């Protein structure tokens, strides 16, 4: 098979593509591809390998040789799925490749917020420690996680792993009902919110989860509660969360995702990093451990090895 990778740079320069090369007769590799370049680069290819490059219906119609699209991610929203199905083009994604990496990042964020690391780091950098009347600073009350309640939204691989890991700190872990699931008997996030010392989000962005954490839910939280979003931008109302953080109605906020990525026009949370807040913003980097990125290649190679028609 002749395969083309359209955005190999999204995997990083340190990743070995040999498992994919071993499955195809020819592999063309492009680091970046603009949307209007995709058709020309895929002409004559049987396999398209993409991460975030959009392959819309018009593009697929112009590629009669295409038999398979391998997505280097879990989400397939950049692929015209109905058009692919009508044209007999198989679409295969990868999943569960970054569980350890994302879970680790989630705990890093939670621990940093609990220890008020953003605020104490700023104080030290500003020279306040050197001016202290005694040996330490204790201006910002920290949160000891032992015996505190963590509410997790999303009981898939990621949410489950995070729940397992925080058990080492002696936290009480509760999973909220899946948003939009009518027959889930578990309490909803809104019902659990008043008892939550921390909330960790690991759910997809859907109509049911858009702004799941909004102004009304934030008002139900303890003022010292921590909020971590390693799911998708838009699951929380970022403006409402920032306002609650500034007003002292939220103990800490950490996000690895924003509604628009990359945020070329900026974002209020990024601007707020200049303020003395218990706030962390990371650049959608929870998944980027070398092991996770190499796992994507291995899973894609497996997708290439599977028969196109079972």
Contact 162, 200 (CB under 8 A): yes
| DSSP letters spanning 262-296 | S-TT--HHHHGGGSSSSEEE--S-TT--HHHHHHH
Contact 162, 199 (CB under 8 A): no
Residue 267 annotated in active site? no
Which position among 2, 210, 220, 284 bears the catalytic label? 284
User: Can you say whether the dihedral through the CA atoms of 209, 211, 213, 216 is positive or negative?
Assistant: negative
Residue 261 annotated in active site? yes
- In whole angstroms, how far apart are CA 7 and each of 70, 74, 137, 159, 277? 12, 15, 47, 29, 36
Which position among 232, 267, 293, 295 bears the catalytic label? 232
How far is C-alpha 43 from the geometric centre of its chain's CA atoms? 32
Residue 232 annotated in active site? yes
Which position among 37, 191, 261, 291 bears the catalytic label? 261
Catalytic site positions: 232, 261, 284
């Amino acid at each position: 098979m002749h395969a083309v990778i359209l955005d190999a740079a999204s995997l990083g320069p340190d990743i070995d593509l040999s498992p994919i090369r071993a499955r195809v007769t020819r592999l063309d590799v492009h680091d970046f591809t603009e949307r209007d370049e995709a058709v020309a680069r895929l002409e004559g290819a049987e396999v398209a390998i993409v991460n975030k490059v959009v392959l819309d219906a018009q593009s697929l119609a112009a590629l009669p040789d295409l038999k398979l699209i391998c997505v280097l991610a879990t989400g397939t929203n950049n692929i015209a799925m109905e058009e692919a199905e009508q044209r007999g083009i198989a679409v295969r994604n990868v999943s569960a490749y970054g569980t350890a990496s994302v879970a680790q990042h989630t705990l890093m964020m939670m621990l940093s917020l609990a220890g008020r690391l953003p605020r104490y780091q700023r104080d030290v950098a500003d020279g306040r420690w050197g001016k202290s009347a005694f040996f330490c600073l204790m201006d910002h009350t920290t949160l000891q996680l032992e015996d505190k309640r963590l509410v997790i939204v999303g009981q898939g691989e990621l949410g489950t792993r995070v729940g397992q890991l925080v058990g080492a700190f002696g936290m009480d872990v509760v999973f909220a009902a899946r948003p939009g699931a009518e027959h889930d008997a578990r309490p909803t996030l809104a019902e659990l919110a008043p008892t939550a010392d921390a909330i960790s989000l690991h759910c997809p962005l859907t109509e049911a989860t858009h702004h799941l954490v909004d102004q009304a839910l934030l008002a139900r939280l303890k003022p010292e509660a921590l909020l971590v979003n390693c799911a998708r931008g838009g699951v929380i109302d970022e403006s409402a969360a920032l306002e609650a953080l500034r007003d002292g109605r939220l103990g800490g906020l950490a996000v690895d995702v924003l509604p628009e990525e990359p945020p070329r026009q900026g974002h209020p949370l990024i601007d707020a990093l200049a303020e003395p807040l218990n706030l962390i913003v990371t650049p959608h980097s929870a998944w980027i451990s070398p092991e996770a990125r190499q796992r994507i290649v291995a899973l894609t190679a497996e997708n290439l090895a599977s028969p196109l028609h079972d």
